[in-house]
Structure 1
Amino acid sequence: MTAKPTTHEEYLATLREDQREALVALGARIDARLPGYAHCVSYAMPAWRPAQAKGSKDIVIGMAAFSRNLGLYPYSGSIMPHVAERAQAAGFTTSKSGFTFKPDQPPPDWLLDEVIALRLAEIG
């Protein structure tokens, strides 16, 4: 049995090159938007939380890789209804919990900014 990753680096090391490159780039974009936030692994995916937070309710955003796509998740079912229509119009597949994208088609800045802003407002 393979141990579950406990850091972003461990998680990223398990991915195909195209997935790893895409999520490293996305992670850098998230880091730039969340300075001072801590990296963690929650629900087996790399995530970001306030440095002082200890529970999953304060996690802002997470990302994951799957066999056919990558995903971005705001850790709240109330965020996606605000962005789903625009995200779908931009070619992303959405669900209640997040949206998926291909390694060569990362989320645009407006979508990343909006999801993070909505989640930060929700956390308070």
Structure 2
Amino acid sequence: MGTVTDYLAEREGENRVALEHVIAVARELSPDAVEGESYGMPALLHRDKALVAALEAKQHLGLYPFSGQILPGLAAELDAAGLRWSPGALQFTAEHPVPDELLRRIFAERIAQIDAQLDKKRR
């Protein structure tokens, strides 16, 4: 699929804007994130570990935090926002985006998880 930038450049209209926004919020919290690939998806990498992928599907947009622990921990907020989710994926649309506060919580928790894993290995 290529890089995140290439992937987003191939999208159109409101879906592209919505996906670009997700990536922009992730970059706010991890300004040193680089573009790469994880599980065959274009992704932002924090400290060389997958942080997030945001992709277009036929009926929805998907956010993938590359952890089965992040979204279940935010179940109440996700449900309150009326979003469909599973442990590894969050579905949204351009018309019904993920609230910014919730995006920031998802990314902050994933960043903390990556940092904890990598810092533990250094000890």
Q: Does the TM-score normalized on the shorter chain lie above 0.5?
A: yes
Q: Which residue matches 1:14?
A: 10
Q: Which residue matches 2:113?
A: 122
Q: For structure 2, list consecutive stretches of 5 or more residues without a partner in the other structure.
A: 117-123
Distance in 1 (alpha carbons) for counterparts of 2:94 and 2:41: 16
Please list, as runs of the form range in 1=range in 2, the aligned pairs for 1:1-124 lying within 5 A after superposition.
5-51=1-47, 53=48, 58-123=49-114, 124=116
Distance in 1 (alpha carbons) for counterparts of 2:107 and 2:36: 16
- Number of residue equivalences: 115
Between the aligned residues of both structures, percent identity stands at: 33
Q: Partner amino acid for 1:59?
A: A
Residue 72 of structure 1: SS of its match in structure 2? Answer: strand
Residue 95 of structure 2: SS of its match in structure 1? Answer: coil
More helix by share: 2
Q: TM-score, normalised by structure 1?
A: 0.82
| C-alpha contact 2:3 2:43 (8 A) present in aligned 1 | no
* Cα RMSD (Å): 1.6
Q: For structure 1, list consecutive stretches of 5 or more residues without a partner in the other structure.
A: none
More strand by share: 2
Structure 1 segments, 4+ long, off by >4 Å, are none
| C-alpha contact 1:26 1:106 (8 A) present in aligned 2 | no
